[in-house]
Each structure stands twice: as structure tokens, then as C-alpha cells.
Chains A and B, each alone.
Chain A
Amino acid sequence: MTNSWTDIRNTDLVVIMGGNAAEAHPCGFKWVVEAKANRGAKLVVVDPRFTRSAAVADYYAPIRQGSDIAFLSGVINYCIQNNKVQWDYVKAFTNATYIVKEGFAYKDGLFTGYDEEKRDYNRSTWDYQIGPDGYAMVDETLQDPRCVWNLLKEHVSQYTPELVERITGTPKDKFLKVAAMIGECSTPTKTMTSMYALGWTQHSKGSQNIRTMAMLQLILGNIGVRGGGMNALRGHSNIQGLTDIGLMSNMIPGYLTLATDKEPDFNTYMSTRGFKPLRPNQMSYWQNYKKFMVSFLKSMWGPAATAENNFAFDWLPKMDVPAYDILRAFELMKQGKMNLYFCQGFNPLQAFPNRGKLTEALSKLKLLVIMDPLQTETARFWENHGVYNNVDPAKIQTEVIQLPTTCFAEDEGSLVNSGRWLQWHWPAGSPPGESRTDAWIMSQIHLRLKEMYKKEGGALPDPIVNLYWPYKDPSEPTPEELTRELNGYVVSDVLDPNDPTKKLLTASKQVPNFGVLRDDGSTAAGCWIYSGSFTEDGNMMARRDNSDPDDTGAYLKWSFAWPANRRIIYNRASADINGKPWDDTRKLLWWDGAKWTGYDVPDIAPTAKPQDVGPFIMNPEGVSRLFARGMMREGPFPVHYEPFESPMVNLVAPKIRGNPVARVFKDDFAQFAEPASKEFPYAATSYRLTEHFHYWTKNNHVNAVLQPEFFVEISEELAKEKSITNGGWVRVWSKRGSVFAKVYVTKRIRPLICDGKPVHVVGIPIHWGFVGAAKKGFPANVLTPFVGDANIETPEFKAFLVNIEPSTGPVA
């Protein structure tokens, strides 16, 4: 989230699209209810189904799953055509005025530089023209035909309300009503918040779904302001923490990236991470990259990381592929190239796509280690459960070791919420049986490996034997020790260069913030963005002071928000170019003539003059990007691409199937249904229900009572066509698998008319399996396709094709 949960109460319009906050985030949804009850805010829901969020919405519009970019591009087009643009914001704080290189163009769904063979682009033209002064060229008048604004205007012009209706199935009048409600928020005194979740991410173009809304929010001037923002509602407790800490194959903590094998040494690695400002005076905060990186390396290897060995950079793995994401991991497993899998707090047999492929892959492993507080399907993948898990245990040779862990309520530590708040928690109960903390288990493995490497050597024992392990009890580091390390500490005294009698930093003290981190090895920090969370003043995450001066919703003394306890990021954009708040009733920061002051921690230096330094400090431009340069694999502007399995061909680019740059493994392509398939005519989507949390709560009796049994949802129209009765059994199948389910025939799903033809939607909740208290059932991933988002490989769980027929139910 750019903003915080508590800030949602400041909004005028909540748009829930690509998510279902009332269903999946009922506790956070309270802030929507507050905004409605106390500010008169309106709630708009755009979703293929009439959801629990829609039940309390002021306006609902249906949409075909996988067509969000067409809808939102249509809204951007509407705003441009109807002058619903916050011009002062757009001109000052976005790259609308920047001039794009000659050669960059868009035609028939593709941008310049496409290589069909590689399913990738040469992105060299996707950038600004650089002037003789070394800075990006701009045209403040927006007259230059090559400026971003004019290219954007042209790019979205084809998404007329008529075309939007043909693609999305949203009736034109409903689309226009939503567009008008959104357009009203282009005035400086009205803000809109976007609340989205997996309904946008779980598509083969998930990143672009989100980006399109972000562009719309910039055009409306709604980023960096109270009640605005792009608010990603995270799906798991602490999944925000997972990304912060870099638990992806190609990341390291604090959104630093691992080197590729084309970057064999530290200097080469740093050469593309200098981030020189693209406009005068800009902070371009990633210029400090080296300080964060060296501090990270110091926290990893302590005294063994020295200036002489480039702080042990060579001990970090180098990537030979863009990422070893979950889909690649299971593909490699299936090919027999990955033999050992550690599965920590994860149930991939339920959570990843194409169940059949997952079972096949797990069956080829030599060793599977499960660390989990619960019994999981993955741990039991080899066990026969009739139709629900029809495997032959005799044919599976994988050794499975289950290590029971404690759960969050039995341990202390911090959880990071969607609003980037690190909140400390304390144990509420004692761990049962033989369960151990994850830290204890990992330490045991590490200490044993360390011993083995010391004794036996190996190809490269250094990273393991030198791993810095300064904990009081090496067999189990405490949460406090680990979080102090993440915050960072001073390794050796730093003296004031102007007055060497003065110490700037004192060895062994916790660092107060990331501003003091250094690239000479005198500081260490496990995760630079967490600096400030555990300082010499104590554990900031444990703070529970809910005072809120002037009721702004900031709550600066409650827990700690990264970065730097900032509650709304890009908050300098809450004031105009002269530092005057856009909305006096919703002030956040303002320039008092000498410095920035207000209710939040400013992004920019407190004394940075408002006309000089832009709010988007992580970008070398200092402004936000309507034109993404080469940062997105599909292109600098979003394009509507159909899901890989779609009930229709792409109307804007009929020759293109799916996302042209999404990675698809060879065998998986063969398992996709054709566009507009007769064999699989119905558009399916999968989702969560409020009664359950993923695959955990089916182990809990009360949750199982509240939603006991697997079902799918269809419209009355489809039920009639297929002679299906409410509450009866159906069989649903895709090109990858087949499930039996009870059926809910509901008015909440209606056929959508797309390009003149009805598209029937089949809704599939995800929560059942063959383990737990609830009735045995099928998980949705039996049906879903094995393909992910082109940028980050989140699987396409939200749009695929199925068929359905009435059934007498499974035979046990």
C-alpha cells in the first residue's frame, strides 16, 4: 500500500476492482465502512461476481475476468476526453512532459522491438530523449507530439466506451457511470482510493493491471495524498514482510537484487545500479544503493566481509535465469533437475497451478522437507484419498520429512501488514507437542551444514562457514536478536571528517535510520528499509500509542512503518509545486517557507525546496511514470491482452494469444484450451471466501461449520441451459483436470455479453482439500493453467476455461 489501512477512512471514493476486500480483508474493510459512514464516501465495485463487497457498495458494475486493462484504459481515455485531469499534478509530478525517443511506436498490440522467437523485446527505444546537458528532455507546454502525454492520449484513444463494452462485457451505461464517479476525483479536493488484491495480480498480465490503475490515479492526482493511493491488500499475514525481506529467488532484502551471471564482480554489478538523476536536483534515492548493499553484506558475513574481498559479494549466488520462481521450480522438479525441496509454511500442492503437474513433480523428488504447524496436502501428496488424491503410493519413492513448527500465536516477533507497518506480537499460547520455532529448525540445519563444510570442504564452503552467527544461543536466535540485525548496527566508530574529535556513529550501537548507512563496511543492516524499527530507543515495532493529532489517521506512534516511519509514501505530492496542500481539509505536508512540516515523515529532505525536488524520490526523474520506460516487460504503456485461456479472441490485437512476453513452458502450452474453445466454453475464475483462510482454516472446526463443503457458483441462465439444480452436484473440468462440486445457482453471477455473444462465468472457491475438518473436496488448482505474470510469475488463477455438466457426485 502507498497509504495505510487507517488512511482509507479519509477517502471520498473507494474503488474495489481486482479484489474483494469485504470478503478477503473483513477487518481492514472497517475503514471503508468508516469512510462511508463518517465522510459520506461512495464505494464502487467492479467484479465478475456480485461479491460481499458489492453487497455494501453504492454502485456495482460487472466485468469479464481478465479484461481490466481494457476497462481502465477506457477510463483513462474518458478522463482525457472529458478533461477530468488534475493538470497541475500531472504537469509537476508525472513524466507527462518528457519527450520519448524517436523509434518508439505501438502497432497491432505490440511495441517496437518484439522478438517472437524469444517472446521478449529489445527495449532500447522505450526511453526518454536525453539532452546535451545529460538530462531527460521535457516540453512543459505538452505540445511536442513525442511527449509522454500525447503518446498516452493516442495510445488509449481506441478504448472507447463501445470497445470497452465489447471486450469487458460491462454495459456501456454502467461503464460510463463508473468512469464519471472516478472522473469526479480529478479535482484537488476529492480523492479516490484503489483497493486491489489477487484479482489483479493473478493474471498473466497482473503487473500491468495494477499499473493501469496507478496511471489513472496519477492523472487524477491521487498518489501521495490522504485518502488516495494504490493499496495492495496482501493475501497472507506478513506476505508484505516476505517481499520486504526478499524471499524470492532473485531478490535480497530491501528490494535489492541478486547479480546475474553477466555481473561476475562487484564493480560490474554496481555499474548498472548507479541511478544518476535524470533531471536536475532530484534525489534519485537509489544512488545510495551501494550503502545498503554493503551494509547487507556486512550483516551476512560480519568480519569476513572486508573491503579487500568486496564485502564478500562473490559469495552471493548469481542468477543464470531471470528467477527461480515457483513455476520454474516445479517445472525443474518435473524434469528431474530439482531433487530436494524445502517447503516452509507453504502448501504448494494446493497453492500452485495445475495439480496434476505438481503431483508428478513432487513424485520425482528424492527428498521433501515440510516445515509447517499444520498437516498439509503437500506433506501427504503420496497418500491415496480416492478421487480427491488418486495416487499410487507404491510408485512414489520421495522421502518426506515433516518438521512441526510453532505458529505465529505461539511465538513473538513482527508481522508486516499491507500498510507497511511492522507490528510486534507476543505469544498467546504454548507450542504443542514436539513443534519448534522455524528459527530453531533452520539454525540446526545451518550449524550441521557449517560443521560438515568445515570438515569436508566442498566446491565453495566460504559462504556457509563464514556466515556471521553472533547469537547468544547459536542453536536458536531470538526474534529480538534477528530484528535488531535487520534494523542494523554500527560496526566501527565513524568520525566526523570535519572534526575528528567528534564521533558520528559509535560502534555496536543500533543505527537510528537508513540515512546513516555507509558503503565502507562501518555499518551493517540486514534490511535497510527496516532501519529505524529497532533503535537505541528500543523496539519501535512494539509501540502501541494510538494518539492521532487532528485525527488524520496517521498514528505515527503506533508500531513502525517502513520506510522511516512514513505512513503515506510520496507524501510530498500532497502539496502543489509551491508546497501548498491541494486540500486544506486534508493536509498532510506543507512547506512553511523554510522546511516541510505536517502530519507525516516527509519523503524528501525537510529543507528541499518545493520547486526543486520531486516527490518520487526512488525514480531518477523525481516524477512518477505514465510511461514506464523499459521497466515492464510488456511495454511502457499497458495493452489489453486476453488471458491465455479466453472465451474470445483479442479484439485489439487478434493475432496475439495471451500475453506476448509471458513465459510458457513447452508442455504447458499444449495444456491450454484454444481461444473461444467449443470444448471448454465457460470463463472460470477462482477466489477466496471470507469463512476460510486459504487451506489453513479447513483444519478448524468452527470455520468448517461456517463453510463446510466445496462448491462452485454459476448463473441461473447457465443452470437452465445445462439443467443444473441449485445445491446439486456438478462436474467441472478443464484441459488439465476434473472436479466434482456442489453447485450454487445464483443471481450474483450473470452472463456477460462480450462482442455480442454471452460469456458464462463459473466461480470456483479454493479452500478444500483432502486434509482437515471440513468435508473432503477438490482444490481449484486441479483446473488452473500453469502460466504466470510476465514480470513476476504470479500464476493466472483468475481467468481460464472450463466445461460443466450436472453430476451425481463423486464415487468414493
Chain B
Amino acid sequence: MLKPAPNPPVAPVPAKFGDQDLLRKSASTIKPPAERQTEVAKLIDVSKCIGCKACQAACLEWNNLHEEIGTFNGSYTNPPDLTPASFTLMRFTEWVNPETDNLEWLIRKDGCMHCEDPGCLKACPAPGAIVQYTNGIVDFVHDNCIGCGYCVRGCPFNIPRISKVDNKAYKCTLCSDRVAVGQWPACAKACPTQAIAFGTKEDMKKHAAERVTDLKSRGYKNAGLYDPPGVSGTHVMYVLQHADKPSIYAGLPDNPRISPIVEAWKGVTKYVGMGVMGFAAVAGVFHYLIAGANKVTPEDEASAEKLTRGEKP
């Protein structure tokens, strides 16, 4: 049996990790600490999820987010997509299993996967706007964000969203503020069925293995853990009933990896980053760079494609 989520401490506790525990920092070269903190992970067990959206509510409440009241759009997925104010979202898919002809209502909690090899961070041209802690948490530092949207392009899971209000990128923080003081992320704390669990990545993998055994005993012969190697694993993992077909779960990538475009642009990114550092005092140039960076034309993409093939743009 899983342990329940801990209750908050009564007295303040010191943060368990901070700036000294950075593994990576966007558009910057840093020297990570000699020893990594124990890697953490959130495990989302789709087979235990009842789609109650308590995680969504808890996320809005804890992060003090104000999502708009929308309309009904022909699905229980509300709002219809992630937004700068909705870091997480239950995605509902009605899937008829071709083998059994039975309907399965697949309910997947979407949000940042906290990749071990984070495409957003690699794509980010703003120094220190995206950081990765040695425990695996990938966090956005909004003071440093320039709103260029490269993180969106760099993310294999299509997660970050740019706010129209402050032109900055937003996504799930894995509740780094809560985790730092020994608490589970707000979504995991709120989940009534422990479909969302939190702990060390090792423990979560062990627990996932037990769940997979149980699912196999119930006839889900392809049940498995989703911890995709294309991004060197993730710190948010899924237990899936049909791990051989992740894409049936509202388009969860079958084999996510960082876009070759982003890998190619890394060179350019570094250049832009250095440019930002060099000309930071010159506001006009700064603005020009941002404005330029915001527009990625099909031509740019084509050039990037060529770059990846070793051709000249």
C-alpha cells in the first residue's frame, strides 16, 4: 500500500534544494554540484484515475491561477487545452479497443513531464529562464523569461504556454516550492485515489512495477511504465494500460525526443544568448532580438532542417 501524502509541517522548515543544486541553466554554462540530489518523480497511474479533476482544482488553487470560465466544447476536457493559467489538464479520450470491441475511457492528466533531458531548456535563449535541479525538477524563472516561445518548440510534449498578459512562458513547476519543504505536489496531495503518487524516482518505478503486474493480471497484457528514453526518461511518469500505444492517450508521444530543429538551433541559440549578454544594455537591440526571435518563419524552419542534414541553409 502506498503511503499517504504527508501533511504540512507546523513550523517552517529550510528548503531542501535551491540555486546551489542546479544541474542545468538555459543559455548558460554552469558547474553542477559534485553530487546529485535523489531524483524525484511523480507517478500518474492512469488505471487508477477517475478523472475527478481534483488535481486541476488543486493546481489552480495552490498556484493562485485565474483560469477563465469557458464553454462546453463537446468533451469533459475543460478548458479544452493547457493555458498559461492551466498547468495541468485531464484529457478524456473515448477509445474502442479493437481487440475486445469494448469502450475504454482513457483519462490522462497532461502537464510538464520534467524530462531528464529537457528540450525546453535546450531551446531557451534567455540565460537562466529555465533551470533544472539535480533532483530532476525543471522550472521556469519568469524574471529571466523573454517570452520568445522557443521552449514551446523545444518541448516534445507541447506543454509550455505563453501568457498574453505578461508575455512569459508558463508550465507545471512540479510544485518545486512544496517539494523543497518535503510536501508532495498539490495535485498529488489532492488526488483521492492516489492515481498521482510522488517520491523518489526509484520508489515510483518500483511501485509502477507492482501496478503493471496487477494490470496484467486483469488482462492488460501491454500494461507498462511510460518513462521515455528519447528524453533520457522523465520525472513525471505514467502507468498505462496500453503502454505499447501511448498515442491513444490523447496524443501522448509514442517516442518523444527533442526536435532535430531544436538540436540544430542550439548553435544559433547559443549565439543569440551571447548576443543578449553582449548587448543587454542596449534596449533597442534587445527588443529587436526578441521580436526577431518570436517569429520563426517556415523559411527558418526549412533552414534549420537543412542544418540538421549538414547542408548550408
Contact = CB atoms under 8 A, between A and B. Distances in A.
B192 A55 contact: no
Interface residues of A, number: 45
Given A33-B195, A744-B74, A748-B103, 10 more contacts: A26-B52, A26-B193, A37-B48, A55-B51, A690-B52, A691-B53, A705-B67, A705-B79, A706-B57, A744-B76
A54 B73 CA distance: 22
B1 A705 contact: no
A22 B50 contact: yes
21 contacts: A30-B192, A34-B1, A52-B105, A54-B105, A56-B48, A690-B52, A701-B66, A702-B67, A704-B69, A705-B67, A705-B68, A705-B78, A705-B79, A708-B70, A709-B70, A710-B72, A747-B94, A748-B94, A748-B105, A775-B69, A775-B71
A56 B71 contact: no
List 7 tightest A-B contacts by C-beta distance, closest first. A727-B74, A22-B50, A55-B105, A709-B72, A726-B74, A742-B72, A26-B52
Given A26-B192, A40-B214, A727-B74, A55 B50 contact: yes
A727 B72 contact: yes
Contacts of B96: 747
Nearest to A55: B105
Interface string B198-223: 00000000000001001001100000
Contacts of A50: 103, 105
Which DSSP category, helix, strand, loop or mixed, fits chain B's interface?
A: loop
Interface in A17-37: 22-23, 26-27, 29-30, 33-34, 36-37
Interface string B84-96: 0000000000101
Contacts of A707: 76, 78
B218 to A, nearest CB: 6
Contacts of A481: none
B75 A744 contact: yes
A35 to B, nearest CB: 11
Contacts, number: 115
B69 A747 contact: no
A732 B47 CA distance: 35
Contacts of B79: 705
A745 interface: yes
A53 interface: yes
A711 interface: yes
A33 B72 contact: no
B293 interface: no
A310 interface: no
A601 to B, nearest CB: 26
A590 B189 CA distance: 39
A773 interface: yes
B57 to A, nearest CB: 5
Interface string A696-740: 000001111111111100000000000000110000000000000
Contact of A711 (B51, B66, B72): B72
Nearest to B73: A727
A745 B94 CA distance: 11
Nearest to B54: A26
Interface in B111-159: none
B23 to A, nearest CB: 34
Q: For the side of the interface on B, what is the size category?
A: 35 or more
B56 interface: yes
Contacts of A773: 69
Contacts of A23: 50, 52
A496 interface: no
Contacts of A37: 1, 48, 211, 214
A668 interface: no
A52 B69 CA distance: 23
B234 interface: no
B237 interface: no
B48 A33 contact: yes
B70 A690 contact: no
B61 interface: yes
Nearest to A726: B74
Contacts of A746: 94
Contacts of A709: 70-72
B57 A703 contact: yes
Most A CB within 10 A of own CB, among B54, B70, B105, B194? B105
B107 interface: yes
Nearest to B47: A56
A23 B70 CA distance: 21
A38 interface: yes
Contacts of B48: 33, 37, 56
B187 interface: no
A745 B51 contact: no
Interface in B241-272: none
A774 interface: yes
Nearest to B79: A705
A88 interface: no
B53 A747 contact: no
A745 B76 CA distance: 11
A60 B104 CA distance: 10
A58 interface: yes
Contacts of B76: 707, 744
A747 B214 contact: no
B107 A745 contact: no
B194 A33 contact: yes
B210 to A, nearest CB: 8
A229 B61 CA distance: 38
B143 to A, nearest CB: 27
Contacts of B94: 746-748
A36 B218 CA distance: 10
Contact of B192 (A29, A40, A58): A29
A742 B71 CA distance: 9
A755 to B, nearest CB: 24
Given A34-B1, A37-B211, A690-B52, A29 B70 contact: no
Among B49, B50, B214, find the residue whose CB has the most chain A CB atoms closer than 10 A: B50
Nearest to B217: A40
Nearest to B57: A702
Nearest to A58: B218
A630 B104 CA distance: 45
B290 interface: no
A708 B69 contact: yes
Nearest to B48: A33
B181 interface: no
B214 A53 contact: no
B289 interface: no
A748 B75 CA distance: 12
Contacts of B211: 37
Interface centre among B48, B52, B70, by most A CB within 10 Å? B52
Interface in B9-39: none
B8 to A, nearest CB: 14
Contacts of A60: 102-103
B175 to A, nearest CB: 17
Nearest to B70: A708
B188 to A, nearest CB: 13
Contact of A708 (B51, B60, B71): B71
Given A52-B51, A705-B69, A747-B96, A30 B194 contact: yes
B50 A26 contact: yes
B238 to A, nearest CB: 15
B60 A702 contact: yes
Interface in B169-203: 192-195
A707 to B, nearest CB: 6
A29 B192 CA distance: 8
